[in-house]
Amino acid sequence: MSKAIYPGSFDPITYGHIDVVQRARKVFDELIVAVVTNPQKQTLFTLEERRELCERALEEAGLGDVPVITWDGLVVDCAKHHGAIAIVRGLRANSDFEREFQMALTNRDLNGEVESVFFMTSAEYSFLSSSLVKEIKSFGGDVSRYVPRVVEAALARKLRKP
């Protein structure tokens, strides 16, 4: 049985992330979404809030059977701990590729038994990022076409923007 981990900060989860989940589920027998800490990022939502938002957003998208976990540490250790053979990552543009390539090679060096598998984003989400969604919402903009309703409501509460 093939199992993969899809890690990310998911601050917050977007339709672009959900698109990757839907497609990765077709490739792997089991997919686990791992909400991870990233010391280089200052997040709007806490780790537990992000996990809960992921669970509720995936449920809203009809993917409620995809488990969501939290992890504080190396993603390759998370993969090993959960018996995953692959780390799933999404790519939007060349700028993503350079960073992801570096991480994939490092992960392979740390644990050669775990492969990195990349999914090109769907064209409609190629520009989308969690940072952009937060920025739009912080100015009171409509993010309904970028995130599930549960995420939009959480952003409105957190940023106090209707």
Residue 17 lies in a domain: yes
Residue 145 lies in a domain: no
Domain that holds residue 93: 3-126
Question: Which one, of 105, 92, 80, lies nearest residue 3 by Cα?
Answer: 80
Q: How confident is the model at residue 90 (pLDDT cuts 50, 70, 90)?
A: very high
Q: Which pair of structure tokens corresponds to residue 29? A: 């027998």
Query: What are 7's strand-pairing partners?
Result: 34
Residue 82 lies in a domain: yes
> What pLDDT, on the 0 to 100 scale, is given for residue 64?
96
Residue 150 lies in a domain: no
> Residue 29: helix, strand or coil by DSSP?
coil
Residue 138 lies in a domain: no
Please give the Cα distance from 115 to 11 (Å, whole number).
25
Yes or no: say if 108 and 116 are a contact pair by the CB < 8 Å rule.
yes
> Which CATH number is 77's domain given?
3.40.50.620
pTM: 0.95
Percent of the chain having pLDDT more than 90?
Answer: 89
Percent of the chain having pLDDT more than 70?
Answer: 99
Task: State pLDDT tens for residues 5-42.
Answer: 999 999 999 999 999 999 999 999 999 999 999 888 89
Number of domains in the chain: 1
pLDDT over 70 at 52, yes or no: yes
Residue 162 lies in a domain: no
Residue 10 lies in a domain: yes
Where in the sequence numbering do the catalytic residues fall?
17, 41, 92, 130
CA–centroid distance for 72 within its chain: 15
Residue 139 lies in a domain: no
